[in-house]
Each structure stands twice: as C-alpha cells, then as structure tokens.
Amino acid sequence: MAEGLRERKKRETRQRISDIATGLFLEHGFVTVTMVDVAEAADVSVNTVYNYFPAKEDLFFDRSKGVIDRLSRWVRGRGPGESAAAAVLRELREEVEAVSPRVGLMEGYDRFMRVIHDAPALRSRLWSLQQEVHDHLADTLREETGAAPGDPMPGLMAGQIGWLHQTVMSAVGREMVAGRDPAEVSREVLVLLDGMEDLLSEKVLNYAVRAAE
C-alpha cells in the first residue's frame, strides 16, 4: 500500500526532529539539551516533540528498533543447513568486512559513544535495549525450534549468540572512541570473530539448523 500524504508528512517531521536532536546531543551533550531546545531548533511545539518521542532517551535511540530485531532477522533469514549461530556469525562478518556504519565502523561514532558514556540515563537505556535484543532473540529461537514454553534452551542460546553481537559492538565502540581508523578496526574485529567462534561449543554452533530444502 502506497504511503499517504499525511503519513509521509508525519514520517518526515519525525525524522527531522530526530536529526536535529541528534546534532544537538552530539554538540552539547545529552544532559544539557532539553526537549524545549529540540522543539525550538526544529521549529515545532514541545507537545509535538513529545507526541513523537515520549522521552528524551527515545530521541537519542530513535533507530533502536532496527537493532532490537537485528539478530532475530538474521536468524529467520538463515539458509538451508545453516544454524542460528552460523547465520549471526556470517552476517556480522559481512557487516564488519564491509566497514559498515551499522556496526559502528564510521567516522564520528566516537562522538556518539562519548555522549552515552557521559549520560547515566543513556547508559541505563542501552542496557535495557540489550535485554530487549536478548528477549526478542529468545522468542524467535523458541518459535523457530518449536520449543515448549518452559524450555530454557532458547534463552540460553540467545545469551550465547547475543554475546557475539554485543562483544563486536563493544570492541568497535572502544576502538573508535580511541580514535582508531575504521578499516583497521574492521580487520582486527574479523580476527576477534574467528576467536569467538572457536570458543562456541558444538551444541551452540549446531542449534536451530534450518532443514535442507
């Protein structure tokens, strides 16, 4: 279904507010900037800002939904004969090898990470997002394997597979904050991924293998 004019205008307004807020946060810090500041810079009312973003943290992590379901998307998209962990490893390697901004391999990512480091509310929200990633993946693994409601295995496997993603993101963030070149960090993280795969047990590597067609 084609997007209507009203929906398009709402989406564009939301995006403009988000982009302006991000610029303010990066320049002045998260704690200093208020919702009133964002509204004035975007030339909209404060109520309009709150209609799109109930909390200031929502403004900063506006694109979090794509991160929350990222691992689940990768698992659902695994190929015949491919396990859940293998799919995530493959996708991570492709993103890292491509020096993709989606995993933080970009100039300016250090500024983004510093804003988080300096704001306790953002660090708390980031922890919450990591929990959502885990829960979303556990639900996906439960659906994909047909596990019973009380079976702990999907949650345990989500923890192991989520560790891959979280470790990569932490390593990239740490090195980018240190002022490293994205291409150099990419090469090092690819080696790190090999080491992490070696640490995974066969049970994890062979969990939720998609049946061959």
Using only C-alpha atoms, the chain has a radius of gyration, in whole angstroms, of: 19
Is 211 contained in some domain? no
Task: Indicate the pTM of the whole model.
Answer: 0.88
Residue 12, CA atoms < 13 Å, CB-side half-sphere: 7
- Domain containing residue 14: CATH number: 1.10.10.60
Q: Which domain holds residue 201?
A: 64-205
Q: What is the pLDDT of residue 3?
A: 66
Q: Please tell me the total count of domains within the chain.
A: 2
Query: What percent of the chain is modeled with pLDDT above 90?
Result: 89
Please indicate, yes or no, if residue 93 is contained in any of the structural domains.
yes
Q: Are 92 and 171 within one domain? A: yes
Residues 200 and 142 both lie in one domain:
yes
Q: Which value, to the nearest 10 degrees, does the dihedral of the CA atoms of residues 105, 107, 113, 114 take?
A: 160
CATH code, domain carrying 148: 1.10.357
Domain contains 70: yes
Residues 34 and 137 in one domain: no
Are residues 52 and 76 located together in one domain of the fold?
no
CA triplet 106, 19, 25: central angle to 5 degrees? Answer: 75
Residue at 210 is within a domain: no
Residue 87: closest CA among 97, 75, 98: 75
Alpha-carbon gap, residue 75 to 83, rounded angstroms: 8
* Cβ contact 62:53 at 8 Å: yes
Q: Are 71 and 88 in contact (CB under 8 A)?
A: yes
Q: Do 53 and 102 fall within a single domain? A: no
Give the 3-state secondary structure of residue 163: helix
Measure the CA–CA gap between 184 and 92, rounded to whole angstroms: 16
Query: What are 173's two structure tokens?
Result: 């963030």
Asked if 77 and 55 sit in the same domain, the reply is no
- Among 15, 14, 11, smallest CA distance to 52 is for 14
Same domain membership, residue 72 and residue 34: no
- Whether the CB-CB separation of 173 and 113 falls below 8 Å is answered with yes
Q: Are residues 14 and 69 in the same domain?
A: no
Pick from 89, 53, 107: nearest CA to 200 = 89
Q: Look-up: residue for tokens 């066969």? A: 202
23 domain-assigned: yes
Residues 146 and 42 in one domain: no
Model confidence band, residue 212 (pLDDT cutoffs 50, 70, 90): confident
How many Cβ atoms sit within 10 Å of the Cβ of residue 130?
Answer: 16
Residues 110 and 48 grouped into a single domain: no
212: in domain: no
Residue 148 has pLDDT above 70, yes or no: yes
Residue 106 covered by a domain: yes
Write out pLDDT tens, residues 109-141: 999 999 999 999 999 999 999 999 999 999 999
Residue 81 inside a domain? The answer is yes
Over residues 52-81, mean pLDDT: 92
Q: Are residues 18 and 69 in the same domain?
A: no
pLDDT reading at 65 higher than 80:
no
The reply to whether 136 and 117 lie within a common domain is: yes
Q: Given its phi and psi angles, is residue 127 left (phi above 0), alpha (psi -120 to 50 degrees) or beta? A: alpha
Copy the structure tokens of residue 26. Answer: 């990066």
